[in-house]
Amino acid sequence: MIKNVIVRKPSKNFADGITTADLGKPDYEKALEQHEGYIEALKECGCSVTVLEADERYPDSTFVEDVAVVTEKCAIITRPGAASRKGEEKEIIDTLKKFYSNIEYLEGSACLEGGDILRIDKHFYIGQSKRTNAEGARQLTAILNKYGYTASAVPVKQILHLKTGVIYAGNNTVIAAGEFKDNDVFKKFKMIKVDDDEAYSANCVKMNGHLIIPKGFSKSKKAIVDAGFKIVEVEMSEFEKMDGGLTCLSLRIPEDSSK
């Protein structure tokens, strides 16, 4: 169950962020409208949403998931791998202190972004990508082990982040695109395979019995609905232009079911 979610408004220089999408420059006002729609979708799924003001120093700062990994037992402050994002992680600490007494930190040569972390039950898959290195994966694994979680590394060869290409939808099912459609790491799960022309739609948010999905991908929508999932659709065109998916835009704080 997710009761609390943290998001950050897009900055005015949002279009100056890092992207390889080649889909044109995002419209800032439209991005703000879509961000509001995203917040409404989270609320529709039963969440209380903490909305942080835009940080104009960091064009990519609306992608708040990358600066921390959150669990029931602790929050872990990451170390972003992109040079333009270094320091961004410090701006989430005070907000996370409102929800956590245990905050851990990656150190030294570690690089890790939250978009590379896929949690399935008590296990965390850590994508080793251009943004997350082996030392980042090692340090995160050690921290997670301390709190009773397990973790393993997964190579990410062709895409930005692990969750760009695979997410957990619940009910022992993953949604996968590209290099992860035939990846042996996920062969024990049921899999919804996304066509290459709708690859962006693989990134969805599992939220309290619903899947929040991006609008405009009819084949993926049908496959997800046919698999029995309840969906909430949101428009994401301006974030797609900046290599940003639905999971990137929030930190979703899980409740401790043992309490």
DSSP one-letter string for 108-124: TT--B-GGGEEEETTEE
Tokens of 11: 């900055």
User: What pTM, to 2 d.p., does this model score?
Assistant: 0.97
Domains and CATH numbers, the chain: 2-254 (3.75.10.10)
Other C-beta atoms within 10 Å of 64: how many? 24
Residue 229: closest CA among 176, 165, 172, 163: 172
Token pair for 207: 């939220």
Q: Catalytic amino acids?
A: 161, 248
**The pLDDT of residue 256:** 81
pLDDT at 192 over 80: yes
Radius of gyration (C-alpha) of the chain in whole angstroms: 17
Q: Residue 258: what pLDDT?
A: 45
pLDDT in tens, 199-256: 999 999 999 999 999 999 999 999 999 999 999 999 999 999 999 999 999 999 999 8
Q: What is the pLDDT of residue 91?
A: 97
pLDDT surpassing 50 at residue 259? no
Q: Token digits for 102?
A: 């245990």
pLDDT 10s digits, 16-73: 999 999 999 999 999 999 999 999 999 999 999 999 999 999 999 999 999 999 999 9
Using alpha carbons, select from 168, 165, 158, 80 the residue that is nearest to residue 118: 168
pLDDT confidence of residue 180: 98
C-alpha–C-alpha distance, residues 242 and 48, integer Å:
26
Q: Is residue 257 very low, low, confident or very high in pLDDT (cuts 50, 70, 90)?
A: low
| Chain segment 66-84, per-residue pLDDT in tens | 999 999 999 999 999 999 9
Per residue in 101-158, pLDDT tens? 999 999 999 999 999 999 999 999 999 999 999 999 999 999 999 999 999 999 999 9
How high is the mean pLDDT of the chain? 97
Burial group, residue 88, by CB count within 10 angstroms (0-12, 13-18, 19+): buried
